[in-house]
Amino acid sequence: MLPVNERLPRDRLIAIVNSYFDGITSHDGEVVLAHKGCNRYENGTRVTGRRGGDHDDCVSGLAGFDLANVAGRRIPLVDDEQGVVLGMAVFIRKPGSNRPRNAFSEWFWIEDGRIRNIWTAMFYPGAERPVPNWPPYEGNFPLATAPAEPAPSPVK
């Protein structure tokens, strides 16, 4: 539990998380409200701090990140007493990219108004999967451009 005088209001915690998503979309780590040296863990593996130096934290490498948009953003949980926020969204890749969409959830630990740690779980849905399946897309974005193959007729 954070001391009462260190807690941030819900809207401020959400804005801090959105600064991260905005930094990814704009490919500019300078817009992210994060501590220098912030950590990022993907599916349980630490992906920051392995290269050493000053340019290896949770906002490093955004300039070359293969992403067009962080779509379908949701913030389903904000714990102001702990300084923890759960964010969910889908990475939509740049046109022509061969990398798949990435549906994910991220737990943000926020300390002194900045992101200290991010723990993320990722899922790579096939192009035919209606992901995200929550508003505003309601399961219709993006879907495969070609119609599905018809099911084989039953053997008689």
| Distance from chain centroid for Cα 87 | 7
pLDDT band for position 95 (cuts 50, 70, 90):
confident
- The predicted model scores a pTM of 0.83
- Domain contains 42: yes
| 3 state SS for 22-63 | HHHHHCCHHHCCEEEEEEEEECCEECCCCCCCCCCCCCCCHH
- Domain contains 47: yes
Cis (ω within 30 of 0) for the bond into 132? yes
**Does pLDDT of 118 surpass 80?**
yes
- Domain contains 60: yes
Q: What is the CATH number of the domain that holds 73?
A: 3.10.450.50
Amino acid at 110: I
- Domain contains 72: yes
Give the residue numbers spanning the domain of 45: 4-123
Longest dimension (CA), the chain: 74
- Domain contains 78: yes
The reported pLDDT for the residue numbered 57 is 92
- Domain contains 149: no
The reported pLDDT for the residue numbered 151 is 55
- Per-chain mean pLDDT for the chain: 86
Q: What is the pLDDT of residues 15-69, one digit of tens each?
A: 999 999 999 999 999 999 999 999 999 999 999 877 666 668 999 988 888 898 8
- Domain contains 151: no
Q: What are phi and psi of 99, to 5 degrees?
A: -80, 140
From edge to edge, which strands make up the β-sheet containing 84-92?
Answer: 45-46, 34-42, 114-123, 102-111, 84-92, 69-79
pLDDT band for position 130 (cuts 50, 70, 90):
confident
What's the helix, strand, coil split of the chain in %, to 5? 15, 35, 50
Instruction: State the total domains in the chain.
Output: 1
- Domain contains 139: no
